[in-house]
Amino acid sequence: MEVNKIIFATGNEGKMKEIREIMHDISHKIKSLKEEGLEVHIEENGTTFEENAIIKAKTICEMTGEIVMADDSGLEVDYMDKQPGVYSARYLGEDTPYSIKNAAIIKNLENAKGDERSARFVCVIATAFPDGRILTSRGTIEGLIDYQERGENGFGYDPIFYVPEYSLTSAQLEPDVKNRISHRGKALRLMKEKLKNEGIDC
Ligand code: ITT
């Protein structure tokens, strides 16, 4: 199947930048919602990353008749019973600055030491096809919640997500290093494989 365009159903610029970097080798155009002139608020009322990714991809697929991908992702902090999880964007309010959200998580963990600070980023990618088919892929990266914010790269919770293998937060990693090891990099590369297996030449 020849695919000319894939719409990526996200309004998050930080995600979109990484998606473009990770998908740079596909031969077909990836268009953001903004580029397609689509301004839609999608109710993410699922309880899992899979459900929410499918809701986003399906909604835009049904609106446009195009192949649509979506990313639902978040930070699971074990000491906080895996919160904020699917509520990561909405944690303490959608428009609350990440400096405040990050400080709140650090405060919640003030009595947590060593491995008690374990956390992971999770990313689920869903692809919805006009014929009703849905594919999903999942990627994770394990880390620890740092004691302070460090680094300027990335977005969201990156400044407090410490990656032990590199002794740096994901906001201190170079973008190509983050993309190579991240939840989003893993999920998107797996999705590329799944598309190939479906006979989609993208
Ligand atoms: P769209 O639904 O429009 O894609 P969103 O930001 O609302 O954008 P999600 O509901 O999937 O997306 O929430 C993901 C949140 O998880 C995101 O806003 C960040 O707070 C956090 N997050 C996900 N991946 C991250 C990453 O790589 N680095 C830092 N924070 C991340």
Q: Which residues line ligand 1 (CB under 6 A)?
A: 10-12, 15, 44, 56, 71-75, 88-89, 121, 154-158, 182, 184
C-alpha 111/C-alpha 67 separation (Å) is 47
- Separation of CA 86 from chain center: 11
Spatial contact of 67 and 6, defined as CB atoms under 8 Å apart: yes
Distance between CA atoms of residues 193 and 124, nearest Å: 15
CB 32 within 8 A of CB 64: no
The residue whose CA is least distant from atom 7 of ligand 1 is 89
How far is Cα 169 from Cα 180, in angstroms, rounded to an integer?
Answer: 15
User: By alpha-carbon position, which residue is closest to atom 18 of ligand 1?
Assistant: 89
Per-residue pLDDT of the chain (202 residues; tens, 9 = 90+): 555 899 999 999 999 999 999 999 888 789 999 999 999 999 999 999 999 999 999 999 999 999 999 999 999 999 999 999 999 999 999 999 999 999 999 999 999 999 999 999 999 999 999 999 999 999 999 999 999 999 999 999 999 999 999 999 999 999 999 999 999 999 999 999 999 998 886 7
The whole-number pLDDT of residue 154 equals 97
The answer to whether 19 and 10 have CB atoms below 8 angstroms apart is yes
E strand or H helix at 86, and its extent?
Answer: none
What is the residue whose two structure tokens read 């074990």?
Answer: 78
Q: Among residues 71, 72, 146, 158, which one is catalytic?
A: 72
- H or E element in which residue 21 lies: helix 13-22
Q: Does 72 qualify as catalytic in the annotation?
A: yes
201 alpha carbon – ligand 1 mean position (Å): 28
Pairing assessment for the beta strands 29-32 and 5-8 based on DSSP bridges: parallel
- Topology classification of domain 6-197: Maf protein (3.90.950)
**The pLDDT value given to residue 199:** 85
Sign of the CA dihedral with 127 first, then 128, 129, and 134 last: positive
Protein residue with least CA distance to atom 11, ligand 1:
72
Query: What is the C-alpha to C-alpha distance for residues 188 and 68, in angstroms, rounded to an integer?
Result: 13
